[in-house]
Structure 1
């Protein structure tokens, strides 16, 4: 076993978004796909698909909120009950709940932000497409 801490091995568990130190980063320049079979192929964007993906993110966000709304009070009650009987596990359970609440909140925020960005991207593509179409008609 190496001499690294769990926070170093699993930084995403401790609020870090990047990979652990020591993992090589990709070099700069075009990715391996730059000269692949789709290089230069037209890009097709479907705003409806982006909106469906945004809806799926919002649905997941709702499911997460529902699950948390049921798990949090029960876990909190268990932690308080164990703490009143002088069990050390009550304090540990309260710490776990606080840790999970932070992760649930972070995931909830990310799902909402993802949905917002998908919807904004779909709107931007539709707007740009309509603007380009009207510019061609005007000529």
Structure 2
């Protein structure tokens, strides 16, 4: 298993980081590529339907994760209890691993839900802004 530093770099969401791990170059080599990169000043094309579709994918993944965990968790807990009942020390170790994974499953589940919520909110905001801008430019 990788050490904590390597794991934090490979899985930044595990450690509450919203950006990429340090040491990974940004696109265009700029510290804020969206502000100074090669696309600065280029028109932005937003497709709320694509944002909603991405939110749907995130929700689907969240459902698949929940389904898989709902099967794996009780089976693993039962195996740990059986090993502990037979006086194997691996039962306690398996319980610790299950506890460790449950925290990560919950974190990923929350992250997928937040991602879907934010994508849907962004799509709604773009639609609302577009509609209000269009009505503001209508002839009196």
Fold equivalence (TM over 0.5)? yes
Residues 7 and 14 of structure 1 are in contact (CA less than 8 Å); yes or no, is this contact kept in structure 2?
Answer: no
Change (3 A) 1:13 1:101: farther
Residues 34 and 40 of structure 2 are in contact (CA less than 8 Å); yes or no, is this contact kept in structure 1?
Answer: no
**Structure 1 CA distance for aligned equivalents of residues 86 and 12 of structure 2:** 30
User: Which residue of the partner structure matches residue 49 of structure 1?
Assistant: 50
User: Which residue of the partner structure matches residue 88 of structure 1?
Assistant: 89
C-alpha RMSD over aligned residues: 2.7
Residues 30 and 36 of structure 2 are in contact (CA less than 8 Å); yes or no, is this contact kept in structure 1?
Answer: no
Task: Spell out structure 1 runs of 4+ moving beyond 3 A.
Answer: 12-15, 17-20, 23-30
User: Which residue of the partner structure matches residue 115 of structure 1?
Assistant: 116
**Secondary structure in 1 aligned to 2:42?**
coil
* Cα distance per residue 1:16-51 (max 9 Å; x no partner): 24447xx58979854388352x33221000000000
In structure 2, list runs of 5 or more residues that go unmatched. Answer: none
TM-score by length of 2: 0.82
Change (3 A) 1:96 1:13: farther
**Secondary structure in 2 aligned to 1:10?**
helix
User: Which residue of the partner structure matches residue 3 of structure 2?
Assistant: 6
Change (3 A) 1:40 1:24: closer
**Structure 2 CA distance for aligned equivalents of residues 117 and 97 of structure 1:** 30
Rg (Cα) greater in structure:
1
TM-score by length of 1: 0.82
User: Which residue of the partner structure matches residue 105 of structure 2?
Assistant: 104
What is the aligned residue count?
132
